């Protein structure tokens, strides 16, 4: 029997936590429930969504332990809270005009369900431009009238701010973020560890569209990566001779290797290190992978519009699996979602990690 699976660089199920953002970017998180929600998308090789699966088709393991799961069969009517997060500082000033005229695409993304939309901009710090509203026209108006910010590009601070805003929305709303930014974070107050824990503790799917950071910034950030590389120089972790699917996605190669080689007792720690490294070397892409969302590069308005059109088909089409972890031990947990049986023609995308805080 063949089983297919996709272990993404970090996915985060939604625990129902509470977040309080403190001065100087410090983030305090408290988990109030151990019900873990895992949005899962299943497609054919040609990219068509698959709709007819049941709970019996899925196998979910938590730190290597199979879990008893349930499947929400009414996800299509669940309300949506969408935060649009836009970089207006640094290199983002050159792309401000790309975000004009997106009203129809925003309407397509939220679909025909109850919805709330907000707009957040960021440069060296985040700014709320449009508080959550059911009126997508107001959100589009803000995108049409963005103003250049300072020289900052604090992506993680912008995402942390948006997640905090999302958590203040009604509990029955699913959460999503559209992030328009460069690829690398530039000097956020939110640390990589705080960001990883934040993303791991939220039921928010992130769809990121990124323009390239400068060559100097890429070289500087990439130079840090080898200091924390979790694994041997050669073998599974070696870039030379790796499968073509890993080209430009070394972080995914690292986590796939970990899933094959590491005993369960080390899996969570190593996954944490791999995820932190990925946030350092390509912030925008890693954020999307952590949540089971989508990532795409864009150079201009046409690229962005094409990418948003594709996302509008993915946002409403997912399976929502949930379980109560056994055992519910504090710390980081690694998730693995696969389909039972011989289904080589299907591709699975799901979150791959979450965090349980110590009981107070």
pLDDT attached to residue 265: 46
Helices and strands (H and E) in the chain: how many: 9, 17
Q: Which residues is 153 bridged to in the sheet?
A: 186
pLDDT in tens, the chain (360 residues): 333 333 333 333 344 333 334 434 444 434 345 788 888 889 888 888 898 899 999 999 988 889 999 998 766 688 999 999 999 999 999 999 999 999 999 999 999 899 999 999 999 999 999 999 999 999 999 999 999 999 999 999 999 999 999 989 998 898 999 999 999 998 899 988 788 777 776 678 889 999 987 644 444 444 444 444 444 444 555 556 555 555 555 555 555 565 554 555 456 666 777 778 888 888 999 888 878 788 999 999 999 999 999 888 888 788 889 999 988 887 778 888 999 886 778 888 888 778 777 665
Cβ–Cβ under 8 Å, residues 19 and 337? no
Q: Is 29 helix (H, G, I), strand (E, B) or coil?
A: strand
Q: What is the pLDDT of residue 3?
A: 37
| Per-domain residue ranges of the chain | 1-228+257-360
Helices (H), the chain: 103-110, 136-144, 155-166, 192-200, 215-225, 250-261, 264-281, 283-290, 301-314
Q: Which of 232, 210, 223, 213 has the alpha carbon at shortest distance from 285?
A: 210
For residue 224, the tally of other CB atoms under 10 A from its CB is 11
Q: Are 151 and 124 in contact (CB under 8 A)?
A: yes
* Separation CA 40–CA 323 (nearest Å): 13
Closest CA to 293 of 100, 10, 81: 10
* CATH superfamily, region 1-228+257-360: von Willebrand factor, type A domain (3.40.50.410)
pLDDT of residue 215: 46
């Amino acid at each position: 029997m063949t089983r297919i699976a996709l272990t993404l660089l970090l996915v985060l199920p939604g625990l129902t936590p509470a977040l309080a953002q403190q001065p100087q970017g410090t983030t305090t998180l408290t988990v109030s429930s151990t019900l873990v929600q895992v949005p899962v998308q299943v497609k054919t090789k040609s990219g068509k969504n698959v709709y007819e699966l049941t709970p019996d088709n899925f196998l979910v393991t938590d730190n290597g332990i199979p879990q008893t799961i349930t499947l929400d069969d009414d996800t299509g009517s669940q309300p949506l809270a969408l935060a649009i997060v836009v970089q207006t500082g640094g290199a983002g000033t050159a792309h401000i005009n790309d975000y004009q005229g997106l009203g129809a695409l925003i309407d397509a993304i939220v679909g025909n369900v109850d919805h709330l939309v907000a707009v957040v901009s960021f440069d060296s710090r985040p700014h709320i431009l449009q508080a959550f509203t059911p009126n997508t026209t107001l959100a589009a108006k803000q995108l049409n009238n963005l103003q250049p910010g300072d020289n900052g590009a604090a992506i993680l601070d912008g995402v942390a701010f948006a997640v905090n805003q999302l958590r203040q929305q009604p509990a029955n709303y699913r959460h999503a973020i559209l992030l328009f930014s460069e690829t690398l974070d530039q000097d956020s107050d939110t640390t990589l560890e705080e960001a990883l824990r934040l993303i791991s503790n939220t039921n928010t799917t992130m769809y990121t569209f990124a323009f390239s950071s400068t060559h100097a910034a890429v070289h500087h950030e990439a130079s840090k990566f080898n200091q924390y590389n979790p694994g041997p120089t050669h073998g599974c972790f070696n870039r030379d001779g790796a499968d073509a699917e890993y080209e430009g996605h070394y972080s995914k190669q690292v986590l796939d290797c970990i899933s094959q080689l590491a005993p369960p007792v080390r899996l969570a720690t190593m996954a944490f290190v791999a995820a932190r490294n990925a946030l350092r070397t390509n912030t925008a892409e890693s954020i999307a992978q952590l949540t089971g969302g989508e990532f795409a590069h864009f150079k201009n308005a046409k690229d962005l519009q094409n990418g948003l059109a594709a996302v509008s088909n993915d946002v409403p089409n997912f399976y929502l699996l949930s379980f109560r972890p056994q055992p519910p031990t504090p710390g980081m947990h690694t998730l693995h979602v696969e389909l039972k049986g011989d289904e080589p023609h299907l591709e699975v995308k799901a979150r791959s990690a979450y965090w349980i805080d110590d009981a107070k």
